[in-house]
């Protein structure tokens, strides 16, 4: 019986994917034939694995073990190997037909043609979760078209403008102080340091989402079960999403497999906890209104969302869950990469520490004006983004045909923008950590030739990362606060650690940093 059920599921999957692929192929062929005499090469001519590798389902599976050395966890290395084999544009099966672009001009072409309401491939795992639980998706990571634009526009006013994060600077600065106090302890294991960076990121974005401290950096050895479950759920959520996006999980839309179960369980925990915090916030808001002490002009994301009559509590919860989840692993990985680059380049670290001291003096409070003067800090962060790109891929689906690298790509095809590969091959001395390449001369020239559209860690255009301002502020604060008091070192066993992508960048193994008290003169 089990074998028959499995056979039916596989057969159904094959039929669905074959039908979808046939439709896409038909569209591609029709589009290619629509430009007779054109010198543009057809979609089918895009380099990449051919034959059985382009079959539905099987084509995806053939990219990974046991057929190759690659696993879902190192999909980036798979794509890197194809780049070396096929060049700056190639096509393969990753669930569906996928075109991978690495040339910065092609990246610019995609962004220039994405329109007012850019499309992203649907997150099939999240769609399955919503369908099975009777939910209507109401967050900016999943909505498409006019629905997405209607929700994103008001959020832009709260989250995207240049000074959107500065309201939270004092609170996030206190979170950074707690991080420094924790890192100053002796004998911290690599695992504990990794956990602290994750907690710092979660606590920092939690201040924004829930307008209160979650306590993730306080009494870290005495966590209650609720906090532990909450933290683990955030990690499990990314793991499940990664497996669904890379093709490790293909059947989660058909039945509750291991990947789906992991995702659903994590969403239940995250939703319950966030709803609890939102309920508490609404009660405080109602109390302030009753006491006539509520100031609607005061910038506050949570209160602004709760005061929006077009949004119910379910919509508010989904928006904040999405922002919170997206701001944990991603920021923690980027901080780990920055600390790693500074530890391996002590001359750059000392230069940055000197700038921090010059701009902050003896003040314990970090102000927006201080950060605005720290040009070398921003150069250090940009160079860390370039050398250890935060995300391996940005996904787009265009609603119109385009030509990239001389090839025709029809509308509706999944496109991967691989800026991480761009950064490996379009810079001088690409393997060196050189913040100076981002420093402008007195005449306004950069120290190195920076290709346009090469380093876009938060993507660009209407659908850029909505949490960018907060992520940048958290990374700046972590560096400022740590370097005010501590010198970042690294143990020999971690000097050549590899970084991998589990959606966002992470060290393959926790890094054994060392943190020693910085002398008064430095």
Separation of CA 126 from chain center: 16
What pLDDT, on the 0 to 100 scale, is given for residue 229? 87
The span from the CA of 521 to the CA of 109, in Å, is 50
Smallest CA-to-CA distance from 489 within 345, 333, 331, 356 is with 345
What pLDDT, on the 0 to 100 scale, is given for residue 296? 62
What pLDDT, on the 0 to 100 scale, is given for residue 11? 41
What pLDDT, on the 0 to 100 scale, is given for residue 429? 92
Average confidence (pLDDT) per 10 residues, the chain, 522 residues: 39 42 38 55 96 91 91 86 96 92 96 92 89 87 88 87 90 95 90 94 92 80 75 88 81 94 94 86 83 71 84 84 86 97 98 96 88 97 97 91 97 95 92 93 65 93 93 97 97 94 90 90 56
Burial of 500 (0-12, 13-18, 19+ CB in 10 A): middle
What pLDDT, on the 0 to 100 scale, is given for residue 5? 40
Please check whether residue 435 is in contact with residue 376, taking contact to mean a CB–CB distance below 8 angstroms: yes
Please check whether residue 114 is in contact with residue 462, taking contact to mean a CB–CB distance below 8 angstroms: yes
What pLDDT, on the 0 to 100 scale, is given for residue 2? 37
Smallest CA-to-CA distance from 501 within 371, 389, 426, 416 is with 389
Per DSSP bridges, beta strands 402-404 and 407-409 are antiparallel
What pLDDT, on the 0 to 100 scale, is given for residue 487? 97
**Is 423 part of any known ligand binding site?**
no
Is the model's pTM score more than 0.95?
no
What pLDDT, on the 0 to 100 scale, is given for residue 22? 39
Please check whether residue 349 is in contact with residue 515, taking contact to mean a CB–CB distance below 8 angstroms: no
Per DSSP bridges, beta strands 96-101 and 89-94 are antiparallel
What pLDDT, on the 0 to 100 scale, is given for residue 79? 94
What pLDDT, on the 0 to 100 scale, is given for residue 19? 44
What pLDDT, on the 0 to 100 scale, is given for residue 222? 59
């Amino acid at each position: 019986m089990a074998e028959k059920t499995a056979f039916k599921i596989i057969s159904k999957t094959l039929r669905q994917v074959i039908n979808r692929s046939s439709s896409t192929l038909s569209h591609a062929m029709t589009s290619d034939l629509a430009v007779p005499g054109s010198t543009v090469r057809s979609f089918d001519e895009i380099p990449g694995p051919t034959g059985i590798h382009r079959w539905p389902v099987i084509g995806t599976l053939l990219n990974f073990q046991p057929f190759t050395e690659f696993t879902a966890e190192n999909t980036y290395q798979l794509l890197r190997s194809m780049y070396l084999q096929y060049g700056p544009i190639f096509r393969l099966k990753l669930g569906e037909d996928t075109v991978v672009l690495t040339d910065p001009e092609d990246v610019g072409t995609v962004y220039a043609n994405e329109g007012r309401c850019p499309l992203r491939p649907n997150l099939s795992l999240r769609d399955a979760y919503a369908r099975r639980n009777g939910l209507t998706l109401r967050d900016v990571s999943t909505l498409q078209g006019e629905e997405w634009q209607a929700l994103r526009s008001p959020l832009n006013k709260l989250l995207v403008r240049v000074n959107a994060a500065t309201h939270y600077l004092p609170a996030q600065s206190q979170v950074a102080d707690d991080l420094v106090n924790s890192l100053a302890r002796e004998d911290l294991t690599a695992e504990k340091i990794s956990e602290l960076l994750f907690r710092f990121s979660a606590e920092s974005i939690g201040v924004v989402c829930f307008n209160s401290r979650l306590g993730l950096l306080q009494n870290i050895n005495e966590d209650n079960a609720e906090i532990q479950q909450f933290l683990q759920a955030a990690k499990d959520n990314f793991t499940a999403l990664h497996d669904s996006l890379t093709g490790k999980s293909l059947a989660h839309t058909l039945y509750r497999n291991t990947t789906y179960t992991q995702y659903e369980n994590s969403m239940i925990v995250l939703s319950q906890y966030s709803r609890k915090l939102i309920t508490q916030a609404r009660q405080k808001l109602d109390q302030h209104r009753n006491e006539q002490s509520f100031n609607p002009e005061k910038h506050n994301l949570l209160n602004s969302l709760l005061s929006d009559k077009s949004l119910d509590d379910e919509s508010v919860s989904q928006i904040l869950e999405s922002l919170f989840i997206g701001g944990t692993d991603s920021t923690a990985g980027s901080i780990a990469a920055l600390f790693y680059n500074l530890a391996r380049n002590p001359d750059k670290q000392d230069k940055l520490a000197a700038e921090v001291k010059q701009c902050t003096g003896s003040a314990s409070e970090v102000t927006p004006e201080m950060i605005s003067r720290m040009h070398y800090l921003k150069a250090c962060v940009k160079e860390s983004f370039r050398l250890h790109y935060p995300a391996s891929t940005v996904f787009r689906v265009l609603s119109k045909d385009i030509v990239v690298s001389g090839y025709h790509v029809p509308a509706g095809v999944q496109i991967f923008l691989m800026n991480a590969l761009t950064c490996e091959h379009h810079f001088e001395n690409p393997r060196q950590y050189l913040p100076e390449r981002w420093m402008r001369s007195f005449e306004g020239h950069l120290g190195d030739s920076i290709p346009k559209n090469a380093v876009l860690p938060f993507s660009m255009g209407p659908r850029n990362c909505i949490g960018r301002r907060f992520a940048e502020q958290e990374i700046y604060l972590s560096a400022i606060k740590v370097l005010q008091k501590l010198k970042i070192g690294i143990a020999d066993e971690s000097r050549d650690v590899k970084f991998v992508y589990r959606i966002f960048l992470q060290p393959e193994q926790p890094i054994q940093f060392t943190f020693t008290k910085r002398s008064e003169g430095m």
